[in-house]
């Protein structure tokens, strides 16, 4: 389990994190969404034990991360900007990790070569960006991490690669209860990957939700009447949003599906559709006043 409690971090006068807290259960895939400069990378680097927080606590399975060898052996961090030693081939890099990680799984490393299909004697720095990222996953997963921390892992990858990487992550989560922390500036990217989402804005995680709950509890209702919209229809306590397009009205309502349907059907509409919401729609309606921050994330 990953826990961050009230973590703050400044770089000079820049306050990157302001008392951010988060909790990730074992085996879950937690997505951190935030615009550029929201503090995503800082938070991930603190969780990976690269940076030390100024204030607050970071615990992984109950122990601190910074300078803690035993904890860090369980973590793999794949940064946004990858680094490989200039003259090293994939095999050289593997040798490096092999010597450092006692958990290194040689069989797995060998096995992956059929998946990635990159010549292991090639210099890593001479490979394309996408291939370098594959190498990073190859090496990281070969150390059998319990926790995988990924900073913008899908950024700049082609759709085929995205699918490949997502599959790798999901397989490990399913097979080994891998805990994954993944950041993105794009909410949509994480939709089909994460079971939890946290939104980081100006150094603070102001919203954390389990996706299934969210989807279950929020509904988009399309409704049309013969005459005017009955006034009473608005009396439902959890209407988050209402919009009228000609004769059709659109509602976003929170609540159990059954209750919501019952409420609208009592007014005997001509048409009543219950539509699924996309993740970003959910956030926009959920956030209300703070929705602007989410809109920003979707706009990209």
Partner 1 sequence: MLSKSLLPNKGIILNDLKRYNWIGISYTLLLLFVLPLQIIMNVNKLEERTSYISNPFKPLFYFQGELQEFFILAIPVLTAIFLLRYLQEKRSVDMVHALPLTRVTLCSSHVVAGTLLLLLPVLLTGLLSWVMMVAFNLQAYYALSDIAQWAGTTILISMTLFLFALFVGMVTGTSVAQGILTYITLFLPVGLTVLVLSNVERLLYGFQGQYYMEDGNKLEYFTPIIRLFQLGFDEKMLQSSEIMAYLFSIVLLFGLAIVAYKKRKSEAATQAIAFDFLKPIFKYGVTFCTMLLSGLYFWEIQNDFLWAIFGYIVGSLFGYLLAEIILQKSFKVLASLKNYLIYLLIMAGLLAGFEADVFGYERQLPPVEQVEQLYIGEGGYYTYLRWREYAMEEAATAITEKENIEKVLQLHEAIIQNKTYNENAQSYYSLTFAYQLKNGQTIYRSYALPEASYDQYKKPIFESIEYKHMQFAIFNVDANDVERIVFEPQGISKKAVITDRAHIQEIITILRQETEDESYEQMRDDNMPWARIELWRLVEEASPEMTYRYGVDQSYRSDGKQSYEIMHLNWKKHYKELEQWLQEKGYWQDARILPEDIAYARIVKTEAEKEWVDPKLLPGVEVTKPDELEACLQQLLGRPLYAVSQDENYRIIFYNKNDGEILSGYLKQENVPLLSAW
Virtual CA dihedral for 132, 136, 141, 143, nearest 10 degrees?
A: 130
Judged by CB under 8 A, the number of residues near partner 1 is 28
Q: How far is the CB of 59 from partner 1 (least distance, A)?
A: 17
Handedness of CA 292, 198, 154, 59 (dihedral sign): positive
49 binds partner 1 (CB under 8 A): yes
Q: How far is the CB of 55 from partner 1 (least distance, A)?
A: 14
In the block, tokens 């300078």 appear at: 67
Does 109 bind partner 1 (CB under 8 A)? Our answer is no
Of 18-26, 65-73, 170-178, 220-228, which part binds partner 1 (CB under 8 A)? Answer: 65-73
Contact present, 231 and 216 (Cβ < 8 Å): no
Stretch that binds partner 1, among 63-71, 210-218, 232-240, 274-282 (CB under 8 A): 63-71
Q: Does 92 bind partner 1 (CB under 8 A)?
A: yes
Instruction: Give yes or no for residue 13 binding partner 1 (CB under 8 A).
Output: no
Binding status of residue 204 toward partner 1 by CB under 8 A:
no
What gap in Å lies between CA 7 and CA 54, rounded to an integer? 7
Among 97-105, 204-212, 256-264, 278-286, the segment contacting partner 1 (CB under 8 A):
97-105
- One residue of 62, 81, 160, 227 binding partner 1 per CB under 8 A: 81
| 195 DSSP 8-state letter | S
Residue 145, classed as helix, strand or coil, is coil
What is the nearest approach in angstroms of partner 1 to the Cβ of residue 11? 6
Say if CB 228 and CB 246 are below 8 A apart: no
Check the CA dihedral 292-295-299-300 and report its sign.
Answer: positive
Question: Taking the complex as a whole, how short is the minimal distance between the CB of residue 14 and partner 1, in angstroms?
Answer: 11
Q: How many CA atoms lie within 13 A of 32 on its CB side?
A: 31
The DSSP element (H or E) to which 293 belongs, if any, is helix 291-299
Q: Which stretch binds partner 1 (CB under 8 A): 94-102, 189-197, 235-243, 259-267?
A: 94-102
Choosing from 5, 19, 21, 50, the residue that interacts with partner 1 (CB under 8 A) is 50
Question: DSSP string spanning 198-265?
Answer: EEEETTEEEEEEEHHHHHHHEEEEEEE-SSSPPGGGGG-TTEEEEEEETTEEEEEEES-HHHHHHHHH
Q: Considering the rule CB under 8 A, would residue 83 count as an interface residue with partner 1?
A: yes
- Alpha-carbon distance of 290 to 270, in angstroms, equals 34
Per rule CB under 8 A, is residue 96 in the interface with partner 1?
yes
Q: Which of 101, 109, 137, 138 binds partner 1 (CB under 8 A)?
A: 101
By the rule CB under 8 A, 69 interacts with partner 1:
yes
Binding test (CB under 8 A) with partner 1, winner from 73, 155, 172, 210: 73
Interface with partner 1 by CB under 8 A: which range of 32-40, 68-76, 233-241, 275-283?
A: 68-76
Nearer Cβ to partner 1 (12/159): 12
Beta-strand runs (E) in the chain: 2-11, 14-24, 29-33, 55-60, 75-78, 147-151, 179-184, 196-201, 204-210, 218-224, 239-245, 248-254, 271-275
CB of 201 to partner 1, least distance (A): 22
Binding stretches for partner 1 (CB under 8 A): 11, 45, 48-52, 67, 69-73, 75-77, 79, 81-83, 85, 87, 92, 96, 98-101
């Amino acid at each position: 389990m990953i826990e961050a409690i009230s973590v703050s971090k400044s770089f000079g006068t820049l306050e990157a994190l302001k008392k951010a807290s988060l909790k990730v259960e074992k085996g879950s895939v937690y997505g951190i969404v935030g615009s550029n400069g929201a503090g995503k990378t800082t938070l991930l680097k603190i969780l990976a034990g690269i940076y030390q927080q100024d204030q607050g606590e970071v615990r992984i399975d109950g122990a601190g991360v910074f300078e803690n060898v035993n904890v860090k052996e369980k973590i793999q961090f794949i940064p946004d900007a990858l680094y490989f030693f200039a003259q090293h081939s994939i095999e050289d890099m593997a040798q490096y990790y092999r010597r450092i990680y006692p958990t290194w799984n040689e069989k797995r490393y060998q096995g992956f070569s059929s998946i990635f299909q990159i010549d292991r004697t090639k210099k890593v720095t001479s490979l394309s960006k996408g291939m370098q990222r594959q190498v990073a996953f190859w090496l990281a997963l070969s150390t059998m991490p319990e926790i995988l921390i990924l900073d913008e892992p899908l950024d700049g990858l082609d759709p085929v690669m995205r699918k490949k990487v997502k599959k790798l992550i999901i397989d490990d989560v399913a097979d080994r209860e891998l805990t994954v922390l993944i950041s993105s500036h794009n909410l949509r990217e994480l939709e089909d990957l994460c079971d939890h989402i946290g939104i980081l804005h100006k150094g603070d995680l102001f919203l954390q939700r389990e996706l299934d709950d969210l989807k279950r509890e929020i509904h988009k209702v399309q409704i049309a009447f013969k005459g005017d919209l009955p006034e009473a229809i608005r009396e439902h306590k959890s209407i988050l949003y209402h919009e009228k397009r000609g004769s059709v009205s659109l509602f976003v309502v929170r609540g159990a599906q059954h209750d919501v349907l019952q409420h609208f059907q009592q007014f005997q509409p001509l048409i009543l559709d219950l539509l699924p919401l996309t993740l970003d729609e959910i956030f926009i309606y959920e956030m209300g006043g703070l929705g602007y921050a989410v809109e920003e994330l979707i706009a990209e």
